[in-house]
Chain A
Amino acid sequence: MTKFVRYPYAEFVPLLALLMLLGAPPARAEANDAADFRFQGFVSQRLTASSGNNNFFGETADRLSADYTELGLGASWRPRPQWLLAGQAIYRRGGESEDGRIEPDYYYVAYTPWESEEGHITAKLGKIKVPYGLYNDMRDTPMTRPGILAPQSLYLDALRQLNQAAGGVHLEAERIFGDNSATLRFSQIKPNVRSDNTYWAFLGDRAVYPGELYSRDNEAFSGQLAYDHDGGRLRAWISHAQGLAYYRPAAGDSWITGDLDFKFTALSLQWNGENFSLTGERARNRFLTKLVNTNPALTGSNLDVGYSWYLQGQWRFAPRWEALLRYDAIFIDQNDKDGARFAANNPGRAAWSRYAKDWTVGVRYRLDRQWLLAGELHHVDGTNWLPPADNLSNGQWLSPNTDRKWNLLLLQATYQF
């Protein structure tokens, strides 16, 4: 279940919008409301089948399930050339992980004091998509994802609430040199650490850790340096994101306090030819957990340093058609890639929950600007990105009950406007 989260600064957005409405002169010489206002939306339905015991956003194990639906509705308005107001609401229904609540995807006011063919500077305030890697800020709409699923090793859907969008301030500066450009992005954010999947991924057992996770203002940030050569024919980006989550004890809890420190750094390369695109990204993921118990013997810390990477080819083999081939892998601990040591030290946890190696083949057909049909097949070894909330046994996340090797079939129809 998604819990309500208050974002820092977010309360200023409606106020700014109101000021702009009031401040807009009634008759602007160059005003053209139709040209400066856009509505957009999409609706997408998935059919999912997965093998064995593993459920992927819904009851998908050994059956074809229509449990996953996405719906988005948004608008953008440019009241003056320097100002932009934008927002989108998302409805997502998908098993226990996505409970069908309508939630704000993003909403912000953006101010661009300087813009020319040499570059621009923009500041944003509100709930913002977190820039990380090539796809993080555009992976929650079907049209902008590379495939039905984005590579899960870097863009974990199970932790969407944590890693996709967050309230805060965002600064962007771009310098353009002819057909090439370099962009620097910086965001100070407050991540949402309160989803069930985040709890299961970070703490793991409600009987042992009855408390909950929370985050504080102004402690998380993300930064990105992006170089685009020849209008994006070649891209080389570096991204970093880090944050802190804290443990709030429940009544009578033996755990007094705790914190979880996470840092991700990604390198991205992409080449775009006429009929082929080749993309590779590699990330280093570091998790440091410290938990303090009334019993000093249980107090301790744990450090996991691991990595994720993928290589992806997209082939536009006919007009409107695109084929996808991808290998995607994540290892939570680079010194224990197969999870054997972890499983030995943590009875009741599966070795294969510590990694995932995914081969994907896919195809998509874009009928026109409105319709997109897609299908893809995954063969996965490991369950690291399987959403825990969909795979509970009597309310507990018991990873040994999942299958180590599994297949996933996804079919998707999307209508956008």
Chain B
Amino acid sequence: MMLSIHRHILRAGLAALVLCGNGVAWGVEVIVHPGVSTTEVTRPLARLIFGAKVTRWDDGAAIRVFVLPDESPLHHELSKSILNLYPYQLRAAWDRIIYTGIGLAPIQVANEAEMRRQVASVPGAIGYIGKVFTYDKVRALPVR
């Protein structure tokens, strides 16, 4: 009996670990509009996309970048663990783009719900959300 319970706990634990690998754990996940043809990106390319330096997908369609406020914990998570950049570096790059007009800076949304809504509805959109079980109307974009 005890053994069986242990086995159940062990099994549940293993399942949780596996799920972690698939994106259930706390953290941040890059998401795109379901119409985006690109299926994965490298970290350098993710840096270029969020830095608004690469502005088109492989198929030539416009990339539209959505971001959360600078002070949001998820934004820090994206900057540091996915892009390996300090948030102030992104802010400096965006301010430069905005006020010298060299491109289109990312569009800031207020919260994760708004992020989901925008990325689901705007063609070519990319953004990020906390890791979840479901990707209703958006698609995860793995960053290698």
Contact = CB atoms under 8 A, between A and B. Distances in A.
Interface of A: 30, 32, 35-36, 38, 40, 42, 72, 74, 76, 78, 81, 84, 86-88, 106, 108, 110, 112, 115-117, 120, 129, 137-138, 141, 143-144, 174, 176, 178-179, 231-232, 272, 274, 316, 319, 368-369, 416
Contacts of B62: 30, 32, 35-36, 78, 81
B116 to A, nearest CB: 16
Given A138-B99, A368-B71, A81 B55 contact: yes
B85 to A, nearest CB: 5
B104 interface: yes
A319 B88 CA distance: 10
Interface stretch (B8-16, B41-49, B136-144): B41-49
Given A38-B105, A81-B61, A30 B124 contact: yes
B98 interface: yes
A196 to B, nearest CB: 26
A115 B99 contact: no
A176 B48 contact: yes
Contact of B96 (A38, A76, A138, A178): A138
Nearest to A112: B55
Given A32-B123, A144-B96, A369-B70, 19 more contacts: A30-B62, A32-B122, A35-B122, A35-B124, A36-B62, A36-B104, A38-B98, A76-B104, A78-B104, A81-B60, A115-B55, A117-B54, A120-B54, A144-B100, A176-B44, A176-B48, A231-B84, A272-B89, A368-B69
Interface of B: 42-45, 47-48, 51, 53-56, 60-62, 64, 69-71, 83-86, 88-89, 92-93, 95-96, 98-105, 107-108, 122-125
A292 B43 CA distance: 61
A272 B86 contact: yes
Nearest to B124: A30
Given A32-B64, A35-B122, A36-B62, A369 B108 contact: yes
A141 B54 CA distance: 24
Contact of A141 (B86, B88, B99): B99
A30 to B, nearest CB: 5
19 contacts: A30-B124, A32-B62, A35-B124, A36-B64, A38-B104, A40-B99, A72-B99, A76-B103, A76-B104, A78-B62, A81-B62, A117-B45, A176-B48, A179-B47, A274-B86, A316-B88, A319-B71, A368-B71, A416-B99
A176 B124 CA distance: 23
Contacts of A129: 100
Contacts of B44: 117, 176, 178-179
B88 A88 contact: no
Contacts of A115: 54-56
B89 A231 contact: yes
Contact of A86 (B42, B69, B88, B101): B101
A78 B56 CA distance: 12
Contacts of A86: 101-102
Nearest to A144: B95
A116 B101 contact: no
Given A30-B61, A81-B60, A88 B104 contact: no
Contacts of B60: 81
Contacts of A76: 101, 103-104
A30 B64 CA distance: 11
Contacts of B53: 120, 174
A320 B17 CA distance: 37
